[in-house]
Amino acid sequence: VAQYASDSGNGKTASNNVDECLRSLEELDSLLLRASRNDPDASVKSMKAKVRSAFIALDSLLQTVPSDVLSKGKVIADSYLDREDVVETESSDPDLKQLQSIL
- Segment 39-92, tens digit of pLDDT: 988 888 998 998 899 899 888 888 888 888 888 888 888 887 765 455 454 557
Q: What torsion, rounded to 10 degrees, do the Cα atoms 72, 76, 78, 81 define?
A: -170
| Counts for the chain of helices (H) and strands (E), in that order | 5, 0
Please give the residue that has the higher pLDDT: either 89 or 9. 9
One-letter amino acid of 17: N
Q: What is the mean pLDDT of residues 22-36?
A: 92
> Does 19 have pLDDT greater than 70?
yes
Using a cut of 0.85, tell me whether the model's pTM lies above it.
no
Closest CA to 87 of 96, 74, 102, 100: 100
Whole-angstrom distance, CA of residue 56 vs CA of residue 23 = 12
Query: How high is the pLDDT of residue 30?
Result: 94
**Residue count (the chain):** 103
Please give the residue that has the higher pLDDT: either 56 or 2. 56
Whether residue 5 contacts residue 14, with contact meaning beta carbons closer than 8 Å, is answered with yes
Whole-angstrom distance, CA of residue 62 vs CA of residue 78 = 16
